[in-house]
Amino acid sequence: MKKIVIAIDGWSSCGKSTLAKQLAKELGYLYVDSGAMYRAITLYFLRNHVDWTDKKEVKKALKEIVLEFIYNDNTQSGEIFMNGENVEYVIRDLVIAEKVSEIAAIKEIREFAVAQQQKLGAKKGIIMDGRDIGTVVFPKAELKIFMTADNAVRVERRFKELYEKNPNVSIEEVKDNLEMRDYIDSHREVSPLKKAKDAIILDNTHLTEKEQLQQALEWVKARLLNTRSATDFLRSV
Ligand code: DC
């Protein structure tokens, strides 16, 4: 069966990774969380006191960073490793979220991450979520989904997620962080968050996870029928 590339973009905390992981499981595709790469780079910069306003320091630091996604059988999903360390969980902290958009706006950092993302997608059969996947990373992706949800719903979802790990977190902090990240992500000069012209909008404010998955699977089916070679099609009838 022919494999396609699925690009999922959208605002912070609107369930992109939830949908992407479920789709990957259903289709047997690779899932890549591109935001995790920017978060891991942010972690490295904070830990090593890299001055990201200094291009020379940024370039030097990037040479020291090796990022990998390694599949975890227990969670049934890829987890990000930075220089051999599993940083999948530590990068979800609000301390990282407060700086990541600023760091992800730097041209050299985007070039570093995008080159690796494109390599991962070279063989297709991949689902990647982020902010510029349908516009910059995979402009020819066969299926592009642009996700959105009401602000209040997104804040509530992210608050619940963070509160489980840290009961000291406040809903105001989470709301401010989401608004700030959405603003920076959609206003930066290099590859800002925007809907690709050929992306389908998925507003999940009133959808359950199951409903959104079903909807996305229908879009995948339609794309597979359109992109299958004539021989593949004849084999299946
Ligand atoms: O998806 P996320 O919240 O984990 O992403 C963290 C940040 O990384 C987000 O605020 C913007 C940035 N990002 C980006 O600029 N481009 C991507 N493709 C993915 C994330």
> What is the reported pLDDT for 237?
40
pLDDT greater than 70 at residue 9: yes
Write the residue with the smallest CA distance to atom 2 of ligand 1: 35
**CA 9–ligand 1 middle distance (angstroms):** 9
Angle between helices 16-27 and 209-227 (to 10 degrees): 50
191 Cβ closer than 6 Å to some ligand 1 atom: no
Q: Residue 64 corresponds to which amino acid? A: E
Residue 136's pLDDT band (boundaries 50, 70, 90)?
very high
Tens-digit pLDDT profile for residues 195-236: 999 999 999 999 999 999 999 999 999 999 876 544 444 444
Write the residue with the smallest CA distance to atom 11 of ligand 1: 101
Tens-digit pLDDT profile for residues 104-132: 999 999 999 999 999 999 999 999 999 99
Sketch the domain layout of the chain as residue ranges: 5-223
Closest ligand 1 atom, CA of 17? 1
Choose the residue to mutate in 16, 92, 185, 188 for probing ligand 1, maximizing ligand atoms within 8 Å of C-beta.
Answer: 185
pTM of the model: 0.93
Tens-digit pLDDT profile for residues 12-71: 999 999 999 999 999 999 999 999 999 999 999 999 999 999 999 999 999 999 999 999
Rounded Cα–Cα distance for residues 180 and 176 (Å): 6
27 Cβ closer than 6 Å to some ligand 1 atom: no
Choose the residue to mutate in 13, 34, 138 for probing ligand 1, maximizing ligand atoms within 8 Å of C-beta.
Answer: 34
CATH of the structural domain 5-223, one choice from 3.30.70.1350, 3.40.50.11540, 3.30.360.10, 3.40.50.300: 3.40.50.300
